[in-house]
Amino acid sequence: MNVLGIGTIFSRGLGIAAWEEALRTGWQKPADTGYLVNLDTVADRTLLKKIRRADKLSKMAVLAAADALADSGIGEGVRKSLGIILATAFGAHVITFSFLDDVLDYGEANVSPTTFSNSVHNAAASYVSSALDIQGPTLTVTQFRFSFQAALQLAKCWLEQGRCDYLLVGAVDQYGDVLGYVSDQKLTTAQDGVIRPFTFTPTCQVPGEGAVFFLMGNEPAGNGYCVVEAVHVNGDPDQDKRVDVNIIDADGMLPDESVYRASLAPGIPVAAYAPLYGSMMTGSAFNLAAAALMLKHQTHYATPVQDNPHGLLLVRETRPADIRSVRCISCNCHGEKAVMYMGKL
C-alpha cells in the first residue's frame, strides 16, 4: 500500500508544506488555548464556501482530504474508484454537546436540524465525499485509541479486494471545552505549553486538533512518498525488525507513558513530534506524515523538544540521512501497542 499524496491542517497551517516547515523549524509556543486550528487563515475559501453549514471538524477533514488529493497529482478521473476511510477518537463531540445544550435550552422541537445532522459521526466523511465529488465507498472508524491504525488495516483490505483503486485515509479530531475540562481534571496540563515526550512520567498534555489525510494506492504513481509495509494493533510481531528511526506518540492521554521506553531498541534513533501539533489521540496520523517525508526526502527531522532524562538516542538535528524504514509506535493505557511500518519506495 503506497502513500501517493498527503494533506494536513493543524495549528501552523494548511498543507503538507506547512507540516514539513514545522518539522524543519521546530517547536513554537502555542496559543493559551493550545494547538488549535484557525480556519480564518485559510487563503482559498472555495471549499469552505461549499460547506459553510458544516462544523469545524468536518471543515478540517475536507480541507486536508482535498489537499491530499491535489498533492497526489493523480488527476480527476479517479473519483468513481476512490474511497474514503476517516478515523477519529472523539468524533463530532463539540457539535454534539452544542446540540444537547440546545435541547436543554429550547426543547426538542426547537433545535437546529443542521446542528443535529452535523453531530452524526459519519457527517465529516460525508462532507468529504460531497465536497470533492467522490463516489466510492465511505466509512468512519471511531474508537478512543488506535482508530487511525484500524483505518489503515481496513484500507489495505479494500485495496487488495479491489473495492476501489485509490483511498483517502485520514484522521481528524477537534478540541472542545468539555474535553479540555476532563483533561484538566484527569491529566496534567503543561503550564508552559511544552510537551516533553521523553520524560514519560509524569506526562503533560497541551490540547491539539487537526486533520491528516493520505491518498493510498496499490501501485506507485504521481507524487509518491513511501510504502506502508505493515500495521499491527495490540502487538508487534515484527518488534525485532531493524528500522532506521522510531517515532513515538506522546499524546499526553496517559498519566504514565513509560511503556514507550520499553518499546525502544538501543542504537535506533527515536523522535517524537507531538510538540508540533499538540495532544490528540489520533496524532499517529501526523507521525505517519513525518515518516513519509523522512523516507521521500531522505532526511532526519530533529525532534522538537529534546529533554532526555533517560539518555535515549534522539534525532537531534535535521540533516540528510540514509533512511530505508521507519516504525511509528502508539500505546494505550492498558499497555497495548499499535505499530506502523513504513518503507522507502
Distances (CA, A) of 193 to 53, 211, 252, 314: 32, 21, 12, 21
SS3 87: strand
Query: What's this model's pTM, rounded to 2 decimal places?
Result: 0.95
At residue 202, the pLDDT reads 81
Which tens digit of pLDDT belongs to each residue from 193-243? Answer: 999 999 998 888 999 999 999 999 988 776 799 999 999 998 888 888 899
Interval 242-264 mean pLDDT: 89
- Distance separating alpha carbons of residues 331 and 343, to the nearest angstrom: 21
Give rounded-to-5 percent helix, strand, coil for the chain. 35, 25, 40
Distances (CA, A) of 148 to 56, 112, 203, 261: 19, 31, 22, 22
CB hemisphere CA count around 221 (13 angstroms): 14
- Distance separating alpha carbons of residues 32 and 196, to the nearest angstrom: 17
- Which CATH number is associated with domain 2-344? 3.40.47.10
Query: 54 is written with which cell numbers?
Result: 458544516
Which tens digit of pLDDT belongs to each residue from 294-315? Answer: 999 999 999 999 999 999 999 9
- Distance separating alpha carbons of residues 132 and 135, to the nearest angstrom: 9
Q: How many residues does the chain have?
A: 345
Higher pLDDT, 66 or 144: 66
Which tens digit of pLDDT belongs to each residue from 28-82? Answer: 999 888 999 999 999 999 999 999 999 999 999 999 999 999 999 887 767 778 9
At residue 201, the pLDDT reads 85
Query: 274 is written with which cell numbers?
Result: 507531538
Closest by CA to 88, choosing from 34, 157, 140, is: 140
Q: What percent of the chain has pLDDT over 90?
A: 70
